[in-house]
Amino acid sequence: MRLLVMAWRNLWRYRRRTLVTVAAMTLALLIMVLYTSLVEGYLRDLERNIVDIELGDIQIVAPDYRNNPSIYRRIENPEQLVAQIHDRGLRASTRLIGGGLAAAGESSAGVMLKGIDVEQDAAVSEISEHLASGQWLDATDQPGVVLGNRLAKTLGVGPGDELILLGQAADGSIANDLYTIRGVLRSISDDADRAGVFMTEQAFRSFFVIPSGAHLIMVRRPAERDLSVAVAEVREIAVGLNVATWRDLAPILASFLDSTRSLILIVFLVIYVVVAILIINAMLMSVFERIRELGVLKALGVGPGHVFTLVFMEGGLQTGIAIVVALALSVPGLAYLADHGLDLSGLGGMSVAGMAIDPVWRAVVTPMTIIGPVITLVVIVTVSVLYPALKAARISPVAAMRYQ
């Protein structure tokens, strides 16, 4: 306890140096807490777009469908498979997919039509919440469709306008019909934005003359269940079918997410190395300025261990002050960034590997976005104080008395 009191008093004998060191630690920790929270928010938003909107956690398709998509390659009796997946505590929904041509006025474009079970899909996808204008699909409105953002601009249409769709039905006939645009999506992904046309499952079956089957089953897992466990359970059920996780379907994005989290550690290292240099310099100055004083302490019988602990406590007290101040300052900053975020919409549409991300960059606060930077700072300070503390502990009382 006496050493702690002595260490506290020593800090304020050299007030300016202490304040500079504490300010550097505080600034470094504050920056890293805010930066880590923003990066976590960015990565979660990107992963949310991948999983919650576009791909789901797991997808099931017929064999060879990935290599050669066709309206003829379907999963038969998908209802039975979906029921078995639900029995495992997972959520699932069927989708139908087919290519065609869309026309409005004098404009036309190639499109990818997707038939959705509106009620089922709400449990596995949040795409209905990403409308730029209009309304999402309604099971009772068969002629209603929802378009991707860029497709609507290409065709010059919006909610309430009519759209002609052309294609080849499964029975070999020419599929064509007139639809009403119910809504237009916000930017989701390059494919959905450029060519996405969403319609109800019944409308799709009627258009392509497909009475049964599904091209894809999208599966979602509970948050507490690991992806590897969930995909193993699905593979036990979907024997003979192609089962893939979102990481298999979007390997570039999965790699990007992993590498970006690793990049945080590099940024930690760069910033904290600067802090470490400042701490070592400040603590060494403190030791050299007090060599005679430390020599007197050792001459009076204070052992090397006590001197080492004294210097170590001084570093620890400065770190404690910095942590308290930095976390206190981070509260309003994190609250603002989590609520309002950084609006980067002025930079134009933002996407990574073809997947759109929200231009408003919001922070996400988790235990690790706070604990990670704090632990890193404590480790850096501990390592930085070791040499000055050892230097102080090894001071010879005789040499200290002669030190000028």
Rg of the chain in Å (alpha carbons):
31
Amino acid present at 136: W
Distance, in Å, from the CA atom of 195 to the CA atom of 99, rounded to the nearest integer, reads 9
* pLDDT value at 348 more than 60: no
Q: What is the pLDDT of residue 180?
A: 93
The pLDDT of residue 86 is: 93
**CA 295/CA 26 separation, integer angstroms:** 32
Specify the pLDDT at position 60: 94
Q: What are phi and psi of 171, to 5 degrees?
A: -90, 5
| pLDDT above 70 (res 354) | no
Contact 124, 220 (CB under 8 A): yes
Instruction: Give the model's pLDDT for residue 204.
Output: 94
pLDDT at 377: 85
Question: How far, in Å, CA of 90 to CA of 88, rounded?
Answer: 6
Which stretch of 86-90, 251-255, 320-324 has the lowest confidence by average pLDDT? Answer: 251-255
Please say if the pLDDT value at position 370 is more than 80: yes
* Cα dihedral 256/242/356/85 (nearest 10): -110
Residues 189, 73: Cα–Cα separation, whole Å: 25
* Cα angle value 7/11/12 (rounded, 5°): 125
What is the Cα–Cα distance from 75 to 94, expressed in whole angstroms? Answer: 10
Q: Which residue has the higher pLDDT, 213 or 400?
A: 213
- pLDDT band (50, 70, 90) for residue 402: low
pLDDT over 60 at 403, yes or no: no
pTM score, whole prediction: 0.71
Q: Which residues face 165 on adjacent strands?
A: 102, 177
Least confident of 212-226, 316-330, 346-360, 376-390: 346-360
Q: Coil, strand or helix: which one is 115?
A: strand
Distance CA 217, CA 215 (A): 7
**Pairwise CA distance, residues 229 & 212, whole Å:** 30
Beta strands 162-168; 91-104: pairing state: antiparallel
Residue 404 clears pLDDT 60, i.e. is over it: no
Taking the C-alpha atoms of residue 393 and residue 400, their distance in angstroms, rounded to an integer, is 12
Per-residue pLDDT, 358: 64
DSSP for 193-227, written as a single string:
HHHEEEEEHHHHHHHHT--S-BSEEEEE--TTS-H
Which DSSP symbol is given to 51? I
Backbone angles phi, psi at 97, to 5 degrees: -135, 135
Task: Give 184's strand partners.
Answer: 133, 147
Q: Which of 184, 195, 86 is nearest to 137 (CA)?
A: 184
Dist CA 56 CA 50 (whole Å): 7
Residue 400: pLDDT above 60? no
Q: For residues 275-296, give the mean pLDDT.
A: 72
Give pLDDT, residue 313. Answer: 83
What is the C-alpha to C-alpha distance for residues 153 and 343, in angstroms, rounded to an integer?
A: 24
Q: Note the pLDDT of residue 84.
A: 93
Q: What is the pLDDT of residue 355?
A: 59
Confidence band for 179, pLDDT divided at 50, 70 and 90: very high
The reported pLDDT for the residue numbered 328 is 94
pLDDT score at 39:
82
CB 154 within 8 A of CB 107: yes
Of 194, 188, 192, the closest CA to residue 154 belongs to 194
How far is C-alpha 351 from the geometric centre of its chain's CA atoms? Answer: 14
Cα dihedral sign, 254-255-260-264: positive
pLDDT tops 80 at residue 374 = yes
What pLDDT band is residue 316 in, cutting at 50, 70 and 90?
confident
More confident residue, 393 or 235: 235
On the question of pLDDT at 347 being above 60, the answer is no
**pLDDT given at position 398:** 64
Report the chain's mean pLDDT, rounded to a whole number.
84
pLDDT above 60 for 164: yes
Across residues 106-112, what is the average pLDDT? Answer: 92
**Nearest-angstrom CA–CA distance, 136 and 70:** 26
Count CB neighbours of 335 within 10 A: 12
pLDDT at 235: 93
151 Cβ neighbours under 8 A, 6+ residues apart:
102, 109, 111, 193, 194, 195, 196, 197
Helix (H, G, I), strand (E, B) or coil at 95: strand
Return the minimum-mean-pLDDT range out of 44-58, 75-89, 153-167, 334-348: 334-348
Task: Specify the pLDDT at position 92.
Answer: 93
